[in-house]
Every structure is written in C-alpha cells, then in structure tokens.
Amino acid sequence: MKKRLDLAAFRDGILSGSRVVLGQAITLVESALDSDQELAAELIQSLMSHTGRAIRIGITGVPGVGKSTFIEAFGKMLLEKEKKVAVLAIDPSSQLTKGSILGDKTRMESLASDKRAFIRPSASGGTLGGVSGKTSEAMLLCEAAGFDVILVETVGVGQSETAVKNMVDYFLLLMLAGAGDELQGIKKGIMEMADALVIHKADGENLPSAKKAKASYQNALHLFPSSPKDWSPKVSLASSLSGLGLEETWREVLRYEYQMKESGFWESNRARQRINWLDEQIHYLLGQAFLRDSKVKQTMDHEMENVRTGILNPGTLAKKLVSLFLSTERPQ
C-alpha cells in the first residue's frame, strides 16, 4: 500500500495545482478513519486563505435531461476561455456506480482528459449531512488548487437540490421541453430556487417545442414572487450538440456575479451558507456520536417497536435516550 502524504506534501501538491494530489486529498476528506479526518481538517484549514475565489455553480434537472452532456459541453467551452473547471457531484443515495457521474466511463470523456479540468464522482453513499459536508470540503480543495469554476451536479433526487443550492453561488436548472414535464418531473420548489432555467436538447426536431416551452416557463416565472436579491431568472435554450446557448449561459452567470457582488449579496450569501454548513455538520456529527453510543443503541433496539406501535410516547423515549447519551463517560 502507498504511504500517505503528510500535511506539507498535500498542501504543496494542491497549491501547485496537482490533480493527482487533489484527488488524494478528496479521498482523505471522504475517509471514515479518525486519523484521516484529523489530517483532512488540518489540511483544509491550512488552505482556507486560498479558497473562495471560484464561481460555484450548481446544476440540477430530472434524470434524462442530459446533465452530464451539458456539463461536458459547458465545461469545454469554459476551458476555451482559459478557465480551469472542476466538476463535483452530490448523491446521498448512490450505491456503487449507480447514477454516479463516472458510472459510465464514456461520460465527460473529453472533459476528463483535459489537464485544466478535474472531475470527481460523488462521495459514495452516506446520509445527506455527511455527503454534503464532504462535497463542500472537496470544493474548497478544488479552489485552493486554482480551479476557477466549480460545477456541482446533483445526482440524487429529492433533498440533494437543497443541499447543492446551499453550497453554490448560482443554481442552474436544466429542463426538457415536452408534455407535462413541467409538473410531473420537477418539484415546483426547485424552480423557485433556480437562478437560471435552461431548456436543454434544444436541437433538431426538438427546437420548436423548446421555443414554446421557453415562453411558457418564462410566463410561469413571472408569477413567482420576486426574490429579495432582486434577480429575475431567465429562461434560455441550450444544446450540447450544436453548442447553442452555452455562451449565453455563461454570460448570464457573469452578469449575476457582477450584479450580486455590487449589491453585496454574493458575500452575504456565502456567509449565510458557511453558518448553515456549520449548523448542519454539528447536527450530523452529534447524530453520529449519538447512534454510536452503546447505551443508546441498546435502549433504542429495545424500545423502537413500542414507539412505532404507539405504546411508548416518542417524546419520552427521546428524553431518555438523550440523557443516557449525555451521561456516557468518554475518554478525554
């Protein structure tokens, strides 16, 4: 087995932009070992002053919308503009390669082969709290390694959109033109989170229906209450085949960056996200310690069925378990 790098080697490797060391550092962050966790925390802390300069873009959409092909095409366009691009994914439910962005080796192949790009599949499995904390830290490492644009792809469904929204500057929703997709595929709450709607696969015989969908989404968005940050999301068309809309999508990102930095929202939003991240990680770590406690585990195994059937008041068991947990003596 390979010897693990030490703090200085990790740090120097990342600051010099080594994709290999960056990959190893993210593995360290994802490791469940206490010693790895400690080193990871030290490493990230030592790099904090080199973080925060990238534009963080979240990308979501229903399965089949073509997130990977869009990211590949969009990423390559950014490389042509001399931007270094990192792609991360968040997938709380992922089991092995199922749905993970490198599950299919041919996906993003040409982006992955470029030295100015870095692609990382999602941290495997785990709860949302754990996975989103790891993805946030992977993002900081990418920034320290000099990447200018971080694309965070939501792979899981459900709550992962909120998790990604909470860690990015700009949230892009990919949609498809087509009957009923509006309500059936995507939750309305997701549309309300978006800073931009992009109707993907707007090419060939899809083009006319994509244009129609654009108009109707734009109408729907007008009915939403205006956001406190004073930004009206635009709907645009894009095609990863023809390249339509990729430049326009990027220009919108830059327009957003400019406007939000002017208004102060950019930084206040990041400050809010950091506090939220702290809060989430505290809950996650407390929950982990709680579930590992042997007295808690024993009582839970014993009483859970009584809660389920309504014999035992959930509030009563919660109090009992928490006081058991707090009374556990732990090595200092």
First to last CA, the chain: 32
Q: Rounded to whole angstroms, how far apart are CA atoms 113 and 108?
A: 9
Asked if 309 is part of the footprint of a copy of itself (rule: CB under 8 A), the reply reads yes
Q: How far is the CB of 109 from a copy of itself (least distance, A)?
A: 32
Residue 133 lies near a copy of itself (rule: CB under 8 A):
yes
User: Which CB atom, from 8 or from 271, has the smaller least distance to a copy of itself?
Assistant: 271
Judged by CB under 8 A, does residue 313 bind a copy of itself?
yes
Pattern 76-115, a copy of itself, x by CB under 8 A: ----------------------------------------
Would you count residue 278 as binding a copy of itself (CB under 8 A)? yes
Is the torsion defined by CA of 120, 154, 192, 66 positive or negative?
positive
Instruction: Count the residues of the shown chain that bind a copy of itself, applying the rule CB under 8 A.
Output: 61
- Please list every residue from 245 through 274 that binds a copy of itself, using CB under 8 A: 270-271, 274
Candidate list 69, 162, 281, 299; residue touching a copy of itself; CB under 8 A = 281
Class of residue 317 by CB neighbours under 10 A (exposed 0-12, middle 13-18, buried 19+): middle
Q: Between residues 182 and 203, which has the closer beta carbon with respect to a copy of itself?
A: 182
Question: Contact between 35 and a copy of itself (CB under 8 A)?
Answer: no
33 near a copy of itself (CB under 8 A): no
Stretch that binds a copy of itself, among 107-115, 195-203, 244-252, 287-295 (CB under 8 A): 287-295
Cα Rg for the chain, rounded, in angstroms? 22
The verdict on 183 binding a copy of itself (CB under 8 A) reads yes
Do 88 and 150 touch, CB atoms closer than 8 A?
yes
Does 189 help bind a copy of itself (rule: CB under 8 A)?
yes
Interface ranges with a copy of itself (CB under 8 A): 37, 41, 44-45, 48-49, 51-52, 133, 136-137, 140, 180, 182-184, 187-189, 192, 220, 223-225, 270-271, 274-275, 277-278, 281-287, 289-290, 304, 307-319, 321-322, 325-327, 329-330, 332
